[in-house]
Each structure stands twice: as C-alpha cells, then as structure tokens.
Structure 1
C-alpha cells in the first residue's frame, strides 16, 4: 500500500488496529504541525519499495482515543506494527535511514 497523503477522516478503533494482519505504520500527527510536514518526504521515500506495508495516517489531538491508547505525546509519532503488535516506534524522525531501519524490523525474518 502506498504512502497516504491525508489524515483519515475518522480514526480507526484500537480494536481495528490490534486486529490488523501484516505490517503497518500508524502515523500520528496533524496537517498543520511543522515537524509532521517535515517528516512527510522522509516517510514517503522510505515507504517506497515497501508496498506490503499499510500506512495509516491518523490526525491526533486532545480527546482522540487512539493516540491516547498509544500514549502519543509528540508529533509525528510513527508506530510500526506487525499483526497489530507494536514492533518499533519513532518520534519526530529526522532521517530516512531511521525509518528504513524500523521498516526492516517489520519483516518477520528480522526476529
């Protein structure tokens, strides 16, 4: 699945995220956050070639239950999931390489 450019209009329920099959990156942030905007080209570039990884972009903020369930404090926060379980997490990634390393951990052969 390719890079997702826009935040989901409705955030998924935690139970939906926990039930995901396969690899996924759950991105928490907002469209107006400077750190989030700066991370977009890094994430888009890193996801290229990882079509099997689902990218779910969720707008976060006060009172948003999904972000609170993942204890998100800063944006963007990238949660790397395999079969609904957290494998890795990056907060305010500053480089494509660190995103690539986290994506590599989604591969079951990396265990």
Structure 2
C-alpha cells in the first residue's frame, strides 16, 4: 500500500489498498478518493495539502472510478472525498472541500 506517512502524497494511486488492508490500519489515517483529471480535486488540492502536510497522518490518495471496489465500499459518490479513519473504521468525512477550514474541521474529529 503506497501512502505518505508524513503528510501529503501528490498522486492518486491506481493500486489502491484492499478493503482488508484498510481494515487492518492502526491509528488515524486519511483516505482521499479522487482522480487526477477531476476539476474539483485540483481545486481542493491546495487546501488539502496545506493542512495534511502538517498533520503527520498517513494520507492514502486513491484513484477512484467506475468498478473501483474500495470507493464503492465507502459509498463514495463525489470527488474529492476525504475520509478520516481510526483503526480502519470511518470516523468522519468531507466531500469536495474548498477551504482549509473544512479539512481542519475533519481533523478535529481526532480524539486526543
């Protein structure tokens, strides 16, 4: 599974982790679903990068689309969708963030 464990990973990964691999994650992580050609993903990139590059969480960017099992298992319908996971389970999500405050609010769901 390709993930940036220190923050932002600029590329959506075609070789997405399996549902089982995601379920086995320990601690907090961010799953980001999107596509390199997606205008909403490009528009959100700066806000997402500016927050997550400082968060120190694993950030797994998954190329999503028709027939992609991981996105379907999380019922992703719009891009980008960022999902905060705790030990492989969804804690919170945001869809199409445009401002850094939205990404910060997502991370506010992390329990100290």
Q: 2: distance between equivalents of 1:9 and 1:35?
A: 19
1:62 matched residue in structure 2: 66
Q: Find runs of 4+ consecutive structure 1 residues off by over 4 angstroms.
A: none
Deviation at residue 23 of structure 1 after TM alignment:
1.1
Q: TM-score normalized by structure 2?
A: 0.91
Question: Paired residue for 1:4, among 5, 9, 32?
Answer: 9
1:38 matched residue in structure 2: 43
Q: TM-score normalized by structure 1?
A: 0.92
Structure 1 segments unaligned to the other structure (5+ residues):
none
Q: 2: distance between equivalents of 1:9 and 1:67?
A: 12
The Cα offsets for residues 63-94 of structure 1, whole Å up to 9 and x where unpaired, read as 00000000010000111111111111101012
Q: 2: distance between equivalents of 1:9 and 1:61?
A: 10
2:86 matched residue in structure 1: 82
SS in 2 for 1:78: strand
Equivalent pairs, count: 107
- CA-atom RMSD in angstroms: 0.9
Q: 1: distance between equivalents of 2:17 and 2:101?
A: 28
SS in 2 for 1:31: coil
Q: Residue 100 in 1 paired to residue 101 in 2?
A: no
Question: Paired residue for 1:28, among 33, 36, 39?
Answer: 33
